[in-house]
Structure formats: structure tokens, C-alpha cells
A and B are shown apart, each in its own frame.
Chain A
Amino acid sequence: AQKITQTQPGMFVQEKEAVTLDCTYDTSDQSYGLFWYKQPSSGEMIFLIYQGSYDEQNATEGRYSLNFQKARKSANLVISASQLGDSAMYFCAMKGWTDKLIFGTGTRLQVFP
């Protein structure tokens, strides 16, 4: 069975600093994708970044990068130069050979001045 684990219920970071949000996964699929979504207090789910299991380079999107370590089954999100607007819940998710996304329990990030 597929599973996503996010062990950090909450994280604090000072503005302009970098922060890493942890995500580990478990799957028996050979081909899979890993995703990060941001959920602000307003409730919407905002797609941030995607990494395919066969991608050799770590994905980057602006200030977001995904630290993909396949042997360790980890897909950590790194946010560089944190901003106050980054305060939100962050969900790691995985998609195997089926259509559905499997989500973790999320990490609440708070950025302070």
C-alpha cells in the first residue's frame, strides 16, 4: 500500500531564512510522482512542485525545490528566503500508477519577522 509520512506537525522559520519540510513515502510502484501543495488559511490547495521517480535532477520552481532521495524514499521540500506569506499548511502527496493522490497529514509552517 502507498503511504506518505510527514513527521513535523509544525515548523517555525524566521523571514528570509530557508526551511526544509520533511516527507517520506512508501510504495511498491516502480513509476510514481511526488507532489507538494500549499494550503493557506483560506483553504484552497495550491500546487507547488512535482518530481517524477525517474527524474534524475531535483525539481525546482522559484523559491521551492524538492530534495529527492530515492534510496531513502524521501522527498523533502526546501523553501528558500522564507516570506511571511509562506505561512500555511504544506502537504506532501504521491501518485502511483493509478489516478489518485495520496496525501500526508501536513506540516503547519509559521514564518515570523
Chain B
Amino acid sequence: EPEVTQTPSHQVTQMGQEVILRCVPISNHLYFYWYRQILGQKVEFLVSFYNNEISEKSEIFDDQFSVERPDGSNFTLKIRSTKLEDSAMYFCASSEVIPEQFFGPGTRLTVL
């Protein structure tokens, strides 16, 4: 069964460094999303992406964040200058026209 994949599974970085989190959505899906979950808290929406542009973003998704679909398969989230409070699990998700969003296994980001 097709699934969303994410790399790396765990990323440790120093405060102020740039990180890129990578996702490969399900191949025939058209809508892509990033969410994050701070440890012990609920899942929060960051951004949605369709037709090569951002369709919606939350107040969390400030100028430090950017997304890109550099080729036909990858979908990336970049954090330009990481802060301690960016430590969280980051989930990529994708969907077809139907509303169900299928999540990847997540990347745990730890900022030291």
C-alpha cells in the first residue's frame, strides 16, 4: 500500500542552524501539508501546498519557514534559523481530492 515517507527520522541541530526536512508524498496525491506536534501536545497545522504554491499557512509559519517541491516527488520544509521552541515532531501529509490526509511517520527535530 502506498505511503508517505519522511527523512530523516530524527534530526539534531544547533540553535540558529538551518534544517531541511524531506517528505515523499503518495505519488498520485495533489495536496501536501506540514504539521508539527510539540512533545505531549496536540498536532498543529503549519502549511498546505497545492499546484506549486502555498494555499494556506498558520501563524506559526513565519518567515523562518519555507516549503518547496523541488521535483516531481519530494516536498521539503526548511527552517532557516532554528530556535529551541522549534523542537517538535514534524509530520508531512498528502491527500488526493478526497479529504482524508495520510500522514508520514514524522521527523523528530531536536534543537540544542
Chain A interface (Cβ < 8 Å from any Cβ of B):
33, 35, 37, 42-47, 50, 52, 91, 93, 95, 98-106
Contact = CB atoms under 8 A, between A and B. Distances in A.
Contacts, number: 57
A96 to B, nearest CB: 11
12 contacts: A37-B103, A43-B105, A44-B104, A45-B91, A45-B103, A98-B48, A99-B56, A100-B45, A100-B56, A101-B43, A103-B43, A104-B42
What is the interface of chain B mostly: helix, strand, loop, or mixed? Answer: strand
A46 B106 CA distance: 11
Interface residues of B, number: 25
B106 A47 contact: no
B31 A105 contact: no
Interface of B: 31, 33, 35, 41-45, 48, 50, 55-56, 58, 89, 91, 93, 99-106, 108
A102 B33 CA distance: 13
Contacts of B48: 98-100
